Structure 1
Amino acid sequence: MNRRRSSSSKRPARGTRRAAPSRASGRLRLIGGDYRRRQLPVLERPGLRPTPDRIRETLFNWLAFELAGAHVLDLYAGTGALGLEALSRGAAQAFFVETDSDVAASLSANIATLGANGHVQRQTAMAFLAGPVTPFDIVFLDPPFRQGHAVDACQALEEHGWLSEEALIYLEIEHESVPRVPANWQLHREVRAGDGIGRLYRRHRAA
């Protein structure tokens, strides 16, 4: 995804007054594919930064033969690092879901800069998952740690029909948690990601 965080929320609390307007203070570097080495601005936000290169390289090595023509969903998108990397490496289309209006606008601008086939939805992940359904082949799910979002999001993805028959789901959660995912998701690969664990699941048709 795109942001590593402590146990607190990765976004300012609703109603919190900002001390200064948002500004780009960092850079996201795409590491493979058509947009390799392209650098894009990242807004200054507490806890907001791209998924580290090492984790992205590992993940996209796993996905190397799955990306061509894939339809991708990047929930809790933040910088959109994973969805943008997927587009760079051959995905046909990516949807990015982000609640912060400034972060969403920055992500939209970066997509336009690349000329990529990406679309940003400015709403919460659960509101998006309650809306009209389009099945996705690959989903990146990296919710705020220690807030209980992962279980509900995984359940909604499976029960509401958001996943293609053999979809791949990358879930990143706090390292001390035992993930509760649908029974028909089979763990494929696993990597330590800072204070979290990244797990790649393959969906199989429910019995």
Structure 2
Amino acid sequence: MPKKPAKPAKVPVHRAPPPQQVRIIGGEWKRTPLPVLDALGLRPTPDRVRETVFNWINHLRGAEWHHATVLDLFAGSGALGFEAASRGARSVLMLDSHTPVVRQLEVIKDKLKAEAVTIMRGDAFVTAQGMAQRGQRFDLIFLDPPYGQDFLAKALPLCEGLLNEGGLVYAEAGDALPFSPEQGAMPDWLAPWEQVRADKAGIVFYHLLKLHEKSAETPQMSA
């Protein structure tokens, strides 16, 4: 009898892991998941860090989000920008230089019907400089750039020309910003800034900053 042909060996199927997700913490879209594109190595601000940061902002500004103009300069997953929009920000401009990221942000915006959100593709530093020259101003700026590339040293000086009076900057980094004398001499790019709040979660160091002001009054978001 002729031998039966051997059955082909089963090839193991390697299923892609489910996409990473973060979630919106509060506001209209609370608990809505936001996908993270693994291929680009995005590192979204963790949920618990965002919860702390937005609690800080609410405390300082009385949760008056409906007047807030927001810039998310390194949008990535959009976690920070969509969080602000979810809480009722008047406008949120989200910027990223990577085309797949921008497309994903557009999909999320359409899904949420986030009319207050504008998404742009472009270089953060060139775009920020152009906006400052055109007189665009914001109440709140999110800076969550890739770590280890001195992006904050380049971005914070640009933010000086982008903030409304009394505005705040959220800055995230892989190291604490050197405000303490124990950390050595303060660099020139950090000198105009005052650290309002700061904390650490794992390898994430996060800071809430404002420009040194003549008045010590609590800042209010622009009308």
C-alpha contact 2:74 2:143 (8 A) present in aligned 1: yes
In structure 2, distance between residues paired with 1:189 and 1:177: 11
1:34 paired with 2:42, answer no
Give 1:41-52 correspondences, 5 Å limit: 41-52=35-46
User: Shift of residue 78 of structure 1?
Assistant: 0.3
Q: Which runs of 5+ in 1 are unaligned?
A: 1-23
Q: Secondary structure at the match of 1:34?
A: coil
Stretch moving more, 133-142 or 186-195 = 186-195
TM-score (norm 2): 0.75
1:61 is aligned to: 55
Q: CA RMSD in A?
A: 2.2
Q: Secondary structure at the match of 1:131?
A: helix
In structure 2, distance between residues paired with 1:118 and 1:147: 28
Letter of the 1:201 counterpart: L
Q: Secondary structure at the match of 2:153?
A: helix
User: Shift of residue 191 of structure 1?
Assistant: 1.3
Q: Secondary structure at the match of 2:194?
A: strand
1:167-187 CA deviation, whole Å, 9 max, x = no partner? 100111122552644434221
In structure 1, distance between residues paired with 2:34 and 2:131: 31
Aligned residues: 183
1:203 is aligned to: 211
Q: Secondary structure at the match of 2:158?
A: helix
In structure 2, distance between residues paired with 1:129 and 1:111: 22
C-alpha contact 1:166 1:204 (8 A) present in aligned 2: no
Structure exhibiting the larger radius of gyration computed from Cα positions: 2
1:135-191 CA deviation, whole Å, 9 max, x = no partner? 000011111111111111101111xx2110111001111225526444342211111
1:85-122 CA deviation, whole Å, 9 max, x = no partner? 01111211111110110011101111121111111111
In structure 2, distance between residues paired with 1:79 and 1:100: 11
1:59-88 CA deviation, whole Å, 9 max, x = no partner? 010111253320001111100101110111
In structure 1, distance between residues paired with 2:131 and 2:44: 29
What percentage of aligned pairs have identical amino acids? 38
In structure 2, distance between residues paired with 1:141 and 1:47: 17
2:197 is aligned to: 189
Letter of the 2:204 counterpart: G
User: Shift of residue 49 of structure 1?
Assistant: 4.1
In structure 2, distance between residues paired with 1:104 and 1:206: 39
- Closer, same or farther in 2 for the Cα pair 1:153/1:206, shift >3 Å? farther
1:80 paired with 2:78, answer yes
Deviation beyond 3 Å, 4+ runs, structure 1: 179-184, 204-207
In structure 2, distance between residues paired with 1:46 and 1:196: 19
C-alpha contact 2:22 2:46 (8 A) present in aligned 1: no
More helix by share: 2
C-alpha contact 1:184 1:206 (8 A) present in aligned 2: no
In structure 2, distance between residues paired with 1:108 and 1:37: 19
TM-score (norm 1): 0.80
Give 1:50-129 correspondences, 5 Å limit: 50-64=44-58, 65-66=62-63, 67-116=65-114, 117-129=116-128
Letter of the 2:207 counterpart: R
Q: Which runs of 5+ in 2 are unaligned?
A: 1-17, 180-186, 216-223
